[in-house]
Amino acid sequence: MHRKTKKVGTASPGRRVLLGQQIISGLASGSLYALTAVAVVVVFRNTRTINLAQGDFAMVGAFLAMVLIKDMHLNYYLALAAVVVACILLGILTERIVMRPIADSDWLTLFTATLGVYYILHGVAGWVWGRDTKAFPVTFDPTPINFAGTIVSQGHLINMGWAIAIGLVLYVFFKYTKQGIAMRAVTDDPDTAQLMGIPVRFIVLLTWGMAGFLAAFAGVLLSPIVYVSPEMMDQVLIKGYVAAVFGGLYSIQGAIIGALMIGVAENLAGGYLGAHYKTATAFAMIVLLLTFRPQGLFGIQKRREI
């Protein structure tokens, strides 16, 4: 009896540590999925289309960061700033050159246009940098640390910190700035917003610029985890889209919560069931959600079509 009690006592802390590691790692992954999910929601709210090129915005940013840091020996933060500017410009150019001329088209035309941008960026990246996976220079100490009684990677904590900081910046932007309030007004009623003097086309341009801003951080933060290749963001885009659907495609808070849920759920599935269950878990979650709540966790039953 004494020996049995001892075995249980020694095994239980190990299981708790493993569970803690899986949850923290899942939150770290989910926080990065949230960057893509929020970008999907922001673009959808003001354009009524899903931006399939969002992941490739991040992929281009990752390649640029790798070149600046690894080949040109630029400081990490200077490289990050340059990538942010480049991705914002990429989002703006996409809106001006591709999306604005067809802005009044139906949703399928807009959706197909973003698919075209996706393939163009894929092809250009493969032509310029090649299709082989490339290691991103590690910019943090890889030694794991003890966090809340659990051994976790410093990279996970750094990524979570960046994601929280970006979330706070977005909160302040939408809550207190004129441009953020105008974006919310265009989301609610673009026609009335235009009658009130809000420059709707400029707000849409700003929306795509914000998509580029979020993509820059997603690409740079994910690069040390998934390596750099033209296909590096494909699965992340899928999970970001799933998280956006969790929030009803209109709720930024819902997209963030959905992304964190997916990150934790897939990490637990991968840790306890097998790595090949990770992606399947995200799809299983969205199927269940759409079955019982088609409008999403934070969506409403009926939306006015624009």
pLDDT at 289 exceeding the cut of 90: no
pLDDT of residue 12: 58
Residue 141 pLDDT grade (very low, low, confident, very high; cuts 50, 70, 90): low
Look at the alpha carbons of 53, 56, 60, 61 in this order and tell me if their dihedral is positive or negative.
positive
Tokens coding 152 = 């976790």
Above pLDDT 70, what percent of the chain? 86
Arithmetic mean of pLDDT, 255-279: 81
Residue ranges making up the domain that contains 125 = 26-139+151-292
Structure tokens at 3: 């020996």
Instruction: Tell whether 11 is covered by a domain.
Output: no
208 inside domain: yes
**pLDDT at site 10:** 46
pLDDT at 28: 85
Count of domains observed in the chain: 1
Q: Does any domain span residue 209?
A: yes
Is the pLDDT reported for residue 200 higher than 90?
A: no
Q: Is the pLDDT of residue 11 over 50?
A: no
The verdict on residue 252 lying in a domain is yes
Q: Is the pLDDT of residue 283 over 80?
A: no
The answer to whether position 256 is within a domain reads yes
Assigned domain for 297 exists = no
Amino acid identity of residue 264, one-letter, is V
> Could you give the CA distance from residue 9 to residue 185 in angstroms, rounded to a whole number?
57
* pLDDT above 90 for 238: no
Greatest mean pLDDT among 9-13, 162-166, 194-198: 162-166
Q: How confident is the model at residue 137 (pLDDT cuts 50, 70, 90)?
A: confident
- Which of 15-24, 31-40, 49-58, 209-218 comes out lowest in average pLDDT? 15-24
Would you say the C-alpha torsion 122, 135, 90, 50 has a positive or negative sign?
positive
In a domain, 90, yes or no: yes
Domain presence at residue 217: yes
What are the E-state strand segments in the chain? 145-147, 150-152
pLDDT of residue 25: 82
Give the pLDDT confidence score for residue 188 in this predicted structure: 75
Query: At 61, which CATH number?
Result: 1.10.3470
pTM (predicted TM-score): 0.86
Average pLDDT, the chain: 83
Mean pLDDT of 175-184: 88
Cα gap 10→7, rounded to integer Å: 5
